[in-house]
Amino acid sequence: MTPGARAAAAIAVLDRVLAGDAAEKALTNWARASRFAGSADRAAVRDLVFDALRQRSSAAALGGGLTGRGLILGLARRSGQESLFSGEGHAPHCPGPEDAGREPDAEAGLDLPGWLVPELRDALGTDFPAVADALRARAPVFLRVNLGKSDRPAAIALLAEEGIVARPHPLATSALEVTQNARKIQASQAYLTGLVELQDAASQAVVEALPLGDGMKVLDHCAGGGGKTLAMAARARLRLFAHDASARRMADLPGRALRAGAGITLTDRPEVLAPYDLILVDAPCSGSGSWRRDPEGKWKITPERIALLEQTQGSILDRAALMLRAGGVLAYVTCSLLKRENGAQARAFLDRHPKWNLDRELTLTPLQGGDGFYLALFHGN
């Protein structure tokens, strides 16, 4: 496919997204209907779609409207590639008067939901402009080295044999940032043998902050795909259990655990196995700290959704507290930048449970390189 044809394909996908389809579904349907598109074409169209979603407001302004064409034209104008709209072959037709754009105003230039901007400014303070700018760009690709099997230098060397270039990242002792050929990772021997896993560096840093030790009985209460479960397994010899309200999210975890050499028990009834020494609650949240990876999320979030998430976070914390042994540790984690999901939620828990103590808080933003994360560590008496 020519660059112009790729732009046209991205326009078609974005029109489906703007009509309500999930981006991944729209991309999959396009790829199935476009057998002529090679892997490089599919990757390029995907990048265009997600770049447009990350910069939706400003691209729409530059491109003359919130449509697939407007978004891709806005990106093209920003990068000096308006010539892609030539009308030649399969390229989009040339811009006309109906495509007149404008420089985005201050609010559109942030590429954030306007109703959330005051709250994000309050949470981030002087870091707000830089964080907002970071959320408009692609996230780096990070790997977690399975320190139960190897170390970072050995992993870097093994990856390099297959043309994948990675370097240590300071956020976590297990973190590598991939700088070349990230798309080869899942077919690499380092990945297939469980030496490395795809995991954000800040997510790894959160797990490194947990007070884990050999012999502890640990529950990952909102395990999802199990990235943090596996990271905990690599840190110590644990009796490790994983639970999620949607068991299908953990479908791949047994296979990944086998590759990693980790012993993990999945459970749909965590209370039966209580008490635990430590429970990790990686709570459902707005995902505002990971909007680089999920740009759809920032446009779909609503005030009503966040209010519901706050209630869910509190109820999960209350449930988990009942499953800990006396003196056990409750670790509350979000990938949110919002105070109401982070510090305010931690203090609301303490108000409901006055015999509990807050030992530590950790806040990370994209300015440290990874996603935005919050961690609160509590212990009960």
Residue 193 buriedness (CB in 10 A; 0-12 / 13-18 / 19+): middle
335 is catalytic: yes
Furthest CA-CA distance within the chain: 72
Measured CA to CA in angstroms, residue 34 lies from 5, 20, 45 at distances of: 12, 21, 12
- What's the per-residue H, E or C state across 2-53? CHHHHHHHHHHHHHHHHCCCCHHHHHHHHHHHCCCCCHHHHHHHHHHHHHHH
Q: Sign of dihedral through CA atoms 94, 28, 243, 369?
A: negative
122 membership: H or E segment, kind and range: helix 117-124
Closest CA to 371 of 157, 188, 99, 138: 138
> How many C-beta neighbours within 10 Å does residue 220 have?
31
Catalytic residue among 94, 222, 285, 335: 335
Give strand pairing partners of 196. Answer: 145
Catalytic residue ranges? 335
